[in-house]
Amino acid sequence: MSTTTEFQDMLNEFLPNPLLKEELVKRDYVLRSCEKDESWGGGALVVPFKGAQASSLRYGGLTPSDNVAQSKFVRGQVDGPKELWGTMIFNHRDLMDHGKISEQNFLKLLPDEIEDFMDFTKNTVSTNFLNGAVVANTTVIANAADGLVTVDRPDKFTIGMLVQFTTVDATLVTAYVKTININTQVMLLVTARDGATPVDFSASAGGKALASGGGLYNHGATVAANPFASIRDALLSAANGGSTNLYGKAKTAWTYLQAINIDGSAITSANIMEKIFDALVRVRLFGKGNPSEVLMSLTNLGHCMKVIEAQKGGFNVSPGSQKASQYGWMEIMVGSPTKGALKLVGINEANDDTIMFIDWRGIKFYSNGFFQKAKSPDGNEYFTIRAETGYAYLIDICLFGELVVQRPSYCGIIYGVDIPAAEGEVA
């Protein structure tokens, strides 16, 4: 068969047998939770804020007129929307063979495929909103010619996925995921899609090593200007790994732009609940908002629940507050006799090294219509391409916009959390 097909060996079986597939883990908590404004038509997005309050007070007399401290209004700006494109391809030959029933069943499959791809895209965007552009980090140095890479989150990849990374000598490498071992957390990367040549990480053979802690990215995300902004980057100070500026203004110039940063290196599985409540007090004391949720990884939520179970009376779960979505997050309302109540939310996509105190009033995603299907000039939601291997149809999904943390001072973040595996987690 000279023209390309994808489903030929299964088309006659679609009718009696459903397609078996893995359920997509929901990693879209931030995308679901943040406020959305779909009216941004492009160009500069102005983010105005009050950088300083009028503050001239004087006991016993009037403040001299030439020494009055006025309010300071600052014009922040996002220069333009970021863009993300997702593409699917279907082969026309699959629709031509085996008669009408098989064609109907193939067409019935298309909406499910598109819906799954949309879920995958939303998960990627929401994870970007939370953590930044890195999909996962390496946990050991990759310096052999075997293409094997050990990562901290193999569950965020899929077979055939294109990934990019920068080697120790700043060489940008594009590779494809060939295999994933979930138990060992090792992936095999190859040099071409559907190829078999492993990526060469060995310096002796002309390859370049990938350092432990090196990030693996989606296509194009290694360019700093391409990905969407993230809550992590906005809340962390530059000294703690975050951005230097927000909306083009230096964070250090205005307290409004500064979230409360708290060192979490002393957190253990035994004191995590105490440290979280201590941090909450600090965030509410020095910050400007009233954060209602604490976002953390499922690993850290597990530590919290163990403490709650062990310390009867010290902390308690409010009756009826424990909720879990089918695939994604888990939330509980925790009370303390001395420190009040707080909602803890464990989400699959969160990293273990940060715990975030979120006031959702301060986070908004601006776009020009949210997710959309690109349309051809004749109005079709697909594009036809022709090659010697046959016709194919491309479906493109696009998203234009930017996440804006409008009130960073309303939020807080614990950074540097590193609870050893010996304290109860599998390494």
The structural domains of the chain, with segments of one domain joined by +, span 1-13+29-50+75-132+228-427, 135-217
Low-confidence ranges of the chain (pLDDT < 70): 1-25, 94-111, 205, 311-328, 335-340, 421-427
Sign of CA dihedral 399, 366, 163, 347: negative
CA atoms within 13 A on the CB side of 138: 26
pLDDT for the residue 412 = 96
**Between the CA of residue 425 and those of 7, 214, 300, 303, 349, what are the distances in Å?**
42, 23, 10, 9, 17
Amino acid 16: pLDDT: 42
Q: To 5 degrees, how large is the angle CA 399–CA 402–CA 406?
A: 150
Q: What is the pTM of this model?
A: 0.85
Q: Report d(CA 309, CA 82) in Å as an integer.
A: 44
pLDDT of residue 206: 77
pLDDT at 333: 86
Q: What is the pLDDT of residue 203?
A: 82
Alpha carbons 253 and 245: distance in angstroms, whole number: 9
pLDDT of residue 20: 44
**What residues pair up with 367 in beta bridges, in sequence order?**
401
pLDDT for 42: 82
pLDDT at 387 (0 to 100): 82
Cβ burial 275-302 (10 Å sphere, 16+ → b, else e): bbbebbebbbeebbbebebbbbbebbbb
DSSP letter string, 312-360: BTTBEEPTT--EE-SSS-EEEEEEETTTEEEEEEEETT--TT-EEEE-G
413 and 236 Cβ atoms separated by less than 8 Å: yes
| pLDDT at 17 (0 to 100) | 41
